Amino acid sequence: MNKTVTRQFPDAVINTIDANGVSLTKRQKGVEVNLFFDATGTPKGAEIYSLDEETSEHAEIGLIFDGKELVDYDGVFDLPEQIKDMLHEFGYSTEQVKGFDD
């Protein structure tokens, strides 16, 4: 059975860059993350949304696993910590994917 788990992180601060890779948005406080699981219970993707009512900034992220280990992702330059935290909550490791600050 496919399922979606949603969490809000009101203290998180993010920036996004538009699809052309040129324009950086203002810093936004607060995000919502949707983590999508396939029929086998494996996370397959995530969406992260700004909670800022003045914007509709979001990112769609593909997740690729080898067993319980996240080995790659697509759609963002750096995997948000909030998504890593949610993956850890469900027993998945993110040690193989290093972010910009790692």
Does residue 37 fall inside a structural domain? yes
Q: Which domain holds residue 35?
A: 3-89
| Dihedral of alpha carbons 89, 91, 97, 101, sign | positive
Does residue 54 fall inside a structural domain? yes
Which one has a higher pLDDT value, 100 or 87? 87
Q: What count of other Cβ atoms lies within 10 Å of the Cβ of residue 45?
A: 18
Which stretch of 22-26, 28-32, 73-77 has the lowest confidence by average pLDDT? Answer: 22-26
Question: Tens of pLDDT along 36-61?
Answer: 999 999 999 999 988 877 766 788 99
- In DSSP notation, 61-82 reads EEEEEETTEEEEEESSSS--HH
Percent of the chain with pLDDT over 70: 80
The pTM (predicted TM-score) of the whole model is: 0.83
State the chain's mean pLDDT as an integer. 85
Does residue 101 fall inside a structural domain? no
pLDDT at 62 over 70: yes
Q: What count of other Cβ atoms lies within 10 Å of the Cβ of residue 10?
A: 9
Q: What angle do CA 79, 42, 75 make, to 5 degrees?
A: 30
Report DSSP state, residue 15.
-
Structurally, the chain folds into a number of domains equal to 1
The size of the chain, in residues, is: 102
Does residue 94 fall inside a structural domain? no
Does residue 98 fall inside a structural domain? no
Does residue 43 fall inside a structural domain? yes
